[in-house]
Amino acid sequence: MQGKLILSDGTVFLGQSFGADQPTSGEVVFNTGMVGYPESLTDPSYYGQILVLTYPLQGNYGVPKKDFWESQKIQIKGLIVQNYIDYPSHFESQKTLGDWLKGEGIPALQGIDTRALTTKLRQYGVMLGRIESRVKSQESRNEKENTRLSTLATNDFIYDPNKENVLPYVSCKEVEVYGEGKKNIVLIDCGVKENIIRSLVKRGVKVTRVPWDFNPIEAKMDFDGVLVSNGPGDPTQAQKTIETVRQLLAKSKPVFGICLGSQIMGLAAGGQTYKLKFGHRSQNQPVLDKTSNKAIIISQNHGYAVDMKSLSVDWEEWFVNLNDGTNEGIRHKKKPFMAVQFHPEASPGPVDAGYLFDEFLSYVR
Amino acid sequence: MSFYHMSDRSNKSYKSNILKKVLVLGSGALKIGEAGEFDYSGSQALKALKEEGVEAVLINPNIATIQTSKNLAEKIYFLPVTPYFVKKVIEKEKPDGIFLGFGGQTALNCGLALEREGAFKKAGVKVLGSPVKAVEVTEDRELFAGELSKIGVKVPKGGFARSLDEALKIANDLGYPLLIRSGFSLGGLGSGVVNSKEGFIKMVTAALKQAPQIAIEEYLKHWKEIEYEVVRDNNGNKITVCNMENLDPLGVHTGESIVVAPSQTLNNYQYHYLRKISLQVIEHLGIVGECNIQFALNPENNDYRVIEVNARLSRSSALASKATGYPLAYIAAKIGLGYNLPDLKNSVTLSTSAFFEPALDYIVVKIPRWDLQKFVGAKEQIGSEMKSVGEVMAIGRSFPEVLQKAIRMLETGQDGLLGNEVDDTKLLPTTERLFAIAQRFAKGESVENIYEATGIDPWFLYQIKEIVEFEKSLQLSTISSQIVLQAKKLGFSDKLLAKAFKVTEDEVREFRKKHGITPKVKHIDTLAAEYPAKTNYLYLTYHGEESEELKESKAKKAIVLGSGPYRIGSSVEFDWCSVTCAQTLRDKGLETIIINCNPETVSTDYDSADKLYFDELTFERVSDIYDIENQSLCHAELVSASDMKIPKRVRDDNSGNVSLVLGFGGQVPNNLAMQCFQAGYQILGTSPESIDQAEDRNKFSKLLDQLEIKQAPWQSLKDLNEAVGFAKSIGFPVLIRPSYVLSGSAMNVAYSDSDLKKYLQDASDVSAEHPVVISKFVDGAKEIEVDGVGQKGDLLIYAISEHVENAGVHSGDATIVLPPQRLFLETVRKIKDATRKIIKALNINGPFNIQFLAKDNEIMVIELNSRASRSFPFVSKVTGFNFVEMATRVMLGEKLSGTYKTIDLDYVGVKAPQFSFNRIKGADPRLRVEMSSTGEVACFGSDLQEAYLKAILAVGFKMPKSSVFLTIGGEKSKLDLLPSAKILAELGFKIYATDHTSKFLSQHGIKNTLLHKIAEKKYPSILDPIKEGIIDLVINISKPRSEAGETAGYIIRRNCVDLGIPLITNLQAAELFVSSLASKKKEDLEIKAWDGYVDHH
């Protein structure tokens, strides 16, 4: 079945549908990782986004059982690939990627020139876009000529995840407890990846997962440290979480921010964030730890960044991106507040930064 | 111009103030397991040194390499890479540092030996890169297993044995099947899987003769083999640059495997789990620079083993560099000089960091190239020992697309998966397994069954099946844009489609273009389009809607075609020619474009030309690229209307905007000449009609007759009886060969009717289109080569080289001397005269090579190549005149003149062949008309003897100390060799001989020990002293007509190869060796750099 991706600038890419047969829209972003589609598709940070995977073969190893996912469902709005592989080969595979997408009602297109699409997003920045299927091939022939006319009408239908606070859609609804341990870590769930929970539990602490707008101080909860999770959207929309973190900082509680959590910490500390042209979504980003002068390769998925210049002198730049010099982590000079823009929990991606959980817990202990 | 730049904060090397001069060890001649990849890595290291202003001294006797060109190293020694010579060079040059990691196992072993004897410490030379201690751990399996167990990393279960008894004990504990591996080896020599005690005893015994210790391991049947290329800097920062998955399961050497990058069947957990272990291992071992780590991965769970670590640049690292665009060797060299990864820039984007891991947005497949049919007695089965001689790499955006591209790139005549008439009864891994599997699928076999039989992951098998099913369905369909587009996405060629649709290739092409089905240009940019590439490293794919914008200049363009995969008869020498040509074109202001598909080359470095198309050298693909470049030029520069009306083919060389250069990549591009010409493409240099006149035996023969230049009587024949009749009329022996010859495929000499009948059948199997040619074989003739450059039909420059061996040894296997030392002036004059006439008649405008026979002052022409020949780098570097550069300038229309001294030189250059018979089990190492050498070296001396001794030491010969074994067939050869035997006796060598030879020697008063025939079961038999290690040299001259098979001569020769005993099988070579031995000792060989011999012009 034919399908097409229409970008907000009117560009149309034709392909074949291999997912659910329904239209969708969202922010079109690309990820350059070569493995890890089950993890990425279930990563709540992709909420509201149409994901373009630049590696041209997807579906190779099928889909594993839920235990290996990063949340309980597919979070992306749609998937765009060059070639979909319908005969997976892996001992953990339970179903094909196509069947999974169909089962969860997520549209997907293959046969798209993903390199041309990615180049466009790099040059002009991320754009909104819409996926439509069931395009008759005759119709699609003329599509490119008609695009200019359809642009305006199209825009009305495109969903923009940055225009609202999307955290309620991805956060847990109630407090949940994982693992056992003497120390209790409050995990503020802004759309947390399951591997953050696994990474903490593995280290012998109790994890109390709370909704994005839950304030552990106001709730008079007994806790030893707080982790503010990753999540989707514009960080400035998460005002309640920012306020919670502000209070935590005031109380000098150990706080660790990851990705969106890092941006929230930056905002809570009085700094500012800004939107990157096309974000960092990949498994090969180099960051330098400015304190040790050691570099590591880490996994990233973010569209916003902390403006280091906006922070007070009490804060120092912890990690910096070696490619474009953007901030990759901040740390308070005296207090146990730390945050990284990347993903120490990996999944997908390299596991080099896993030691940061230990570092955070060393402040808690 | 270099694309490599440093970041601002590190303009100066940390160590540049300490390091003034660094010695780099090359890998010597190309051999199986150690080939062109080390020219690539060595060249990159030299480039890095040059950038840092460090004086580089290179030792490498491989004269055909790019690294031994002018301008890369300050000083080049064409000497053997052995401890003796390296020590001598160190004494002379007094370097501060040394690189051991860029010259393969040869350089590494040499370095380890010198370190062990304390030579570096004594001379104050710092070993740069990985510490020797770390390298030693990786080279010793026992130490390696011990170190890895310290950090809880798993290695295969097993043990180490120094004797058969120890080995049997381990085998009893583990049970069969078992894998045997021996340490300190290139390409897994002496390794294999054994299923029984008998087989085990046999292999262990053989392996322990090659190495003091072997490893015996659990055999991990059908486990996946995965590799990572890892880089670690001085500060402990680590990255994995590339991971690769072998299509063949564990048990097939990675050099024999079809390999894809990145891995296809690993999920995120497995990919990053193995990556993490890679980093852990490299950190623990303390590697500084680059290394390769190989894993076995259980397909049914996540269990793994670390198979080995190569603490140096390797074939895999060259492949990884080309597959990702990450210049591993260059970065490793920079780290060796003290840099850390965050200080260095990504060489492709020039803006981002070199500390990153490339993200591929394409798939790469490598397929090895074998030439086993060139070896008498070789088996086609493949396994844990490397036998392939080269490889190709295909880039695309689906597995079927890259697989079919790679099949065509191999240049083995296969155009697709089916219709290759292979034996599909056995699915054992053989060189043809891919085609056997395809054929089985065509017959309806299931993926499950093939997986059971082969262990190839179903992921690959499903897609092979998809290609097969599509190909089958093509036979039933008619041409339509939908089918053609689908076919192109699956990687089918126009040629194959033409066959299916019963139309011509041109018609398919026209149909495609009419329907807008054309391949699109994509960049390899290391970051999957996240950052723009500043380089033009390109490939073509049908999985794309639009071509990427290419930076265009207004300059004229020249497309240089490379040589494709290395194989016997065509290797690094043509890479040198292509790269040198491209550099010259660039210097002359042309926009230069290279097309090649061989990852072991320098021509496929993305900065060897303005643009690199890493793609096929087929007519179809060359046309696609020609069209793309032509179109883009039309956009950049409007062609005037009047210009458009002139048919392209009547324009002269200077009016075209895009030209092809076909003369420097060997036979592959040369074969495209006529087709390109007919398509109306501009071709630089000698006209394709002249090329055809030289290549077509009939036309060329007529020309020689007109010019009254002699040739051996010959005839082109299709019928067996006619052939026998003709052979009888000219008299045996006769030479048999097909008309379009590449390194003598199926060439043979027949000494009788029955010989002829047998060989004829073999030859006609090779080429059905071309009739078999039979010519008189002139016994006892000298062979002479003329390499030169013609300028619009005039002889601009030439070099005459003579073969040491008489005619009957393929020119690629011959020892070649320049300038000639034993030619009559009369002969030289006649050769020059004939050359002038031929060049004039064909209006040669560019490079050429003519082979002559000379006997009794009479000369005959064997053949003419209207392209650069294998010996171009040799003659260029020995005479000091760059023949390729001159030829290129001539082809561009520049008028050159001058006198070039190429005969009256004060020194001698000798080129010697490198054989790899030890890699090919059972192969008879006797020299024949069919080429079997895999590489070459060339060394200099003040006389023939000195240059010859250096050259043969450089190909692994050892100077005999006390005993020589002579076995000479035939009365004439015995008489010819008598003076040499006398010299050996006078020099004090103890002489052993077989019965007839022994009698003959005794009759002539030469004391010798008789060795009995094996069948006699008497001591000493012919094998006893060989196996006891008493013999230092074997001279075995067999009768030319003796049969192949298990003769006594074969057994002796094969044992020499297997036990590493120097062997000479040619009479003239034996004579030269003995005379050299009499005139020089090792200590007399002068340690003199290239510029000490040759003036550079």
What's the pLDDT score for residue B302? 96
Q: To the nearest 10°, report the CA torsion of B859, B860, B866, B872.
A: -50
Sign of CA dihedral B1025, B1027, B1029, B1033: positive
Cβ of A90 within 8 Å of Cβ of B528? The answer is no
What's the pLDDT score for residue A157? 72
What kind of architecture, by CATH, is found in domain B521-684? 3-Layer(aba) Sandwich (3.40)
Residue B629: both structure tokens together: 């470049």
**DSSP for residue B316:** H
What is each CA distance from B889 to B407, B652, B670, B789, B880, in whole angstroms?
35, 16, 19, 10, 17
Cβ of B239 within 8 Å of Cβ of A297? The answer is yes
Give the closest residue to A262 by CA, choosing from A322, A204, A196, A201. A196
Determine the Cα–Cα distance for residues B173 and B177; give it in Å rounded to an integer. Answer: 12
CA angle B263, B265, B270 (to 5 degrees): 80
Determine the Cα–Cα distance for residues B1068 and B944; give it in Å rounded to an integer. Answer: 13
Determine the Cα–Cα distance for residues B282 and B285; give it in Å rounded to an integer. Answer: 5
Determine the Cα–Cα distance for residues B1026 and B1054; give it in Å rounded to an integer. Answer: 11
What's the pLDDT score for residue B303? 97
Asked if residue B1000 has pLDDT above 90, the reply is: yes
B66-93 pLDDT, tens digit per residue, is 999 998 999 999 999 999 999 999 999 9
Q: Using CB atoms, pick whichever of B271, B361, B462 lies closest to residue A35.
A: B271
Determine the Cα–Cα distance for residues A339 and A43; give it in Å rounded to an integer. Answer: 19
The side-by-side arrangement of strands in the sheet containing A294-307 is: A176-178, A206-211, A184-189, A225-228, A255-258, A337-340, A327-332, A315-321, A272-289, A294-307
For the domain with range B364-514, which CATH number is right: 1.10.1030.10, 2.70.170.10, 3.40.980.10, 1.10.15.40? 1.10.1030.10
**DSSP for residue B498:** H
Cβ of B397 within 8 Å of Cβ of A350? The answer is no
Min distance B867 CA to chain A CA atoms (Å): 40
- B464, B441 contact by CB (below 8 A): yes
Question: Residues 6 or more apart from B405 whose CB is under 8 A from it?
Answer: B365, B394, B395, B396, B491, B615, B616
What is each CA distance from B589 to A125, B529, B584, B875, in whole angstroms?
37, 30, 9, 26
Residue B604: both structure tokens together: 């496929």
Q: Which residues in chain B have Cβ-Cβ distances shorter than 8 Å to A295?
A: 237, 341-342, 355
What is each CA distance from B610 to B220, B626, B662, B886, in whole angstroms?
46, 15, 18, 21
As assigned by CATH, the class of the A167-364 domain is alpha beta
What's the pLDDT score for residue A146? 46
Number of Cβ within 10 Å of residue B1073's Cβ equals 25
DSSP B214-227: EEEEE--TT-EEEE
What's the pLDDT score for residue B2? 38
Determine the Cα–Cα distance for residues B62 and B65; give it in Å rounded to an integer. Answer: 6
What is each CA distance from A50 to A76, A100, A285, A328, in whole angstroms?
6, 16, 21, 24
Backbone φ and ψ of B216, nearest 5°: -120, 125
Burial degree of B1044 (CB within 10 A; 0-12, 13-18, 19+): exposed
Query: CATH fold of B8-131, please?
Result: Rossmann fold (3.40.50)
A290-301 pLDDT, tens digit per residue, is 999 999 999 999
Min distance A256 CA to chain B CA atoms (Å): 24
For residue A280, indicate whether it is catalytic: no
Kindly calculate the radius of gyration of chain A based on its CA atoms and give it in whole angstroms.
21
- B225, B254 contact by CB (below 8 A): yes
Matching residue, tokens 């260029």: B876
Q: Which residue of A has its CA nearest to B548?
A: A116
Is A148 or B1057 the better-scoring residue by pLDDT?
Answer: B1057
Backbone φ and ψ of A128, nearest 5°: -85, 160
Min distance A156 CA to chain B CA atoms (Å): 27
Determine the Cα–Cα distance for residues B761 and B568; give it in Å rounded to an integer. Answer: 22
For residue A345, indicate whether it is catalytic: yes
Query: How does residue B378 score in pLDDT terms, banded at 50, 70 and 90?
Result: confident
Q: Using CB atoms, pick whichever of A82, A286, A294 lies closest to residue B353.
A: A286
B456-508 pLDDT, tens digit per residue, is 999 999 999 999 999 999 988 999 999 999 999 999 999 999 999 999 999 99
Q: Which residues in chain A have Cβ-Cβ distances shorter than 8 Å to B353?
A: 286, 322-323
Asked if residue B765 has pLDDT above 70, the reply is: no
Matching residue, tokens 């990851």: A258
What is each CA distance from B16 to B25, B54, B843, B873, in whole angstroms?
20, 7, 53, 33
Partners of residue B77 on adjacent β-strands: B59
- Mean pLDDT of the A302-322 span: 97
What's the pLDDT score for residue B369? 97
In this chain, the answer to whether the domains covering B8-131 and B957-1084 adopt an identical fold is: yes
Q: Which residues in chain B have Cβ-Cβ distances shorter than 8 Å to A350?
A: 272, 275-276, 357
Specify the 3-state DSSP secondary structure of A244: helix
Question: Residues 6 or more apart from B702 whose CB is under 8 A from it?
Answer: none
Q: Which residues in chain B have Cβ-Cβ distances shorter than 8 Å to A88?
A: 459
What's the pLDDT score for residue A35? 98
- CA end-to-end span of chain B, whole Å? 22
- B928, B810 contact by CB (below 8 A): yes
Specify the 3-state DSSP secondary structure of B32: coil
A287-291, B176-180, B928-932, B1042-1046: lowest mean pLDDT where? B1042-1046
- B85, B111 contact by CB (below 8 A): no
List the catalytic residue out of A259, A280, A328, A332: A259
Query: CATH fold of B957-1084, please?
Result: Rossmann fold (3.40.50)
Number of Cβ within 10 Å of residue B121's Cβ equals 12
Asked if residue B335 has pLDDT above 70, the reply is: yes
Please count the CA atoms within 13 angstroms of the CA of B557 that sit on its side-chain side: 26
Specify the 3-state DSSP secondary structure of B445: coil
A198-213 pLDDT, tens digit per residue, is 999 999 999 999 999 9
Residue B888: both structure tokens together: 């290129």
Q: Which residue of A has its CA nearest to B458?
A: A89
Cβ of B267 within 8 Å of Cβ of A116? The answer is no
What's the pLDDT score for residue B428? 83
Q: Which residue of A has its CA nearest to B359?
A: A32
Enumerate long-range contacts of B428-431, CB under 8 Å, 24 or more apart: B428/B381, B429/B248, B429/B251, B429/B252, B429/B256, B429/B381, B429/B382, B429/B383, B429/B454, B430/B380, B430/B381, B430/B382, B431/B370, B431/B372, B431/B380, B431/B382, B431/B388
- Between helix B572-587 and helix B872-879 the angle, nearest 10°, is 60
Sign of CA dihedral B565, B568, B572, B575: negative
Specify the 3-state DSSP secondary structure of A277: strand
What's the pLDDT score for residue B212? 81
What kind of architecture, by CATH, is found in domain B157-219? 2-Layer Sandwich (3.30)
Q: Which residue of B has its CA nearest to A118?
A: B529
Residue A49: both structure tokens together: 């986004």
Q: Which residues in chain B have Cβ-Cβ distances shorter than 8 Å to A83?
A: 397-398, 543
Cβ of A91 within 8 Å of Cβ of B522? The answer is no
Cβ of B544 within 8 Å of Cβ of A60? The answer is no
Locate the domains of chain A by residue range: 2-156, 167-364
Q: Which residue of A has its CA nearest to B266?
A: A61
CATH of domain B694-913: 3.30.470.20
B1043-1089 pLDDT, tens digit per residue, is 656 688 999 999 999 889 999 999 999 999 999 999 999 999 999 99
Q: Using CB atoms, pick whichever of A39, A90, A113 lies closest to residue B546.
A: A113
Partners of residue B854 on adjacent β-strands: B782, B859
Residue A349: both structure tokens together: 């991606």
Min distance A116 CA to chain B CA atoms (Å): 7
Specify the 3-state DSSP secondary structure of A48: coil
- A&B contacts, CB < 8 Å: 160
Determine the Cα–Cα distance for residues B309 and B147; give it in Å rounded to an integer. Answer: 12
A43-47, B969-973, B997-1001: lowest mean pLDDT where? B969-973
Locate the domains of chain B by residue range: 8-131, 157-219, 364-514, 521-684, 694-913, 957-1084
- A17, A1 contact by CB (below 8 A): yes
Q: Which residue of A has its CA nearest to B361?
A: A55
Q: What is the ipTM of this complex?
A: 0.96
For the stretch B451-490, what's the b/e string if a residue is b when 16 or more beta carbons lie within 10 angstroms of its beta carbon?
beebbbbbbbbbbbbbbbebbeebeeeebeeebbebbbbb
Please count the CA atoms within 13 angstroms of the CA of B642 that sit on its side-chain side: 1
Min distance B356 CA to chain A CA atoms (Å): 5
Q: Using CB atoms, pick whichever of A38, A61, A284 lies closest to residue B265.
A: A61
List the catalytic residue out of A280, A302, A332, A343: A343
Query: CATH fold of A2-156, please?
Result: Glucose Oxidase; domain 1 (3.50.30)
- B605, B42 contact by CB (below 8 A): no
Give the closest residue to B530 by CA, choosing from A128, A59, A131, A126. A126
For residue A172, indicate whether it is catalytic: no
What's the pLDDT score for residue B723? 83
Beta strand A127-133 pairing with A2-7: antiparallel
Q: Which of B266, B272, B360 to mutate to test the interface with A (most CBs of A within 10 A)?
A: B272
Please count the CA atoms within 13 angstroms of the CA of A307 that sit on its side-chain side: 11
Share of chain A above pLDDT 90, in %: 92
Whether the ω angle into residue B262 lies within 30 degrees of 0, i.e. cis, is yes
Min distance B712 CA to chain A CA atoms (Å): 58
Give the closest residue to A233 by CA, choosing from A321, A311, A166, A149. A166
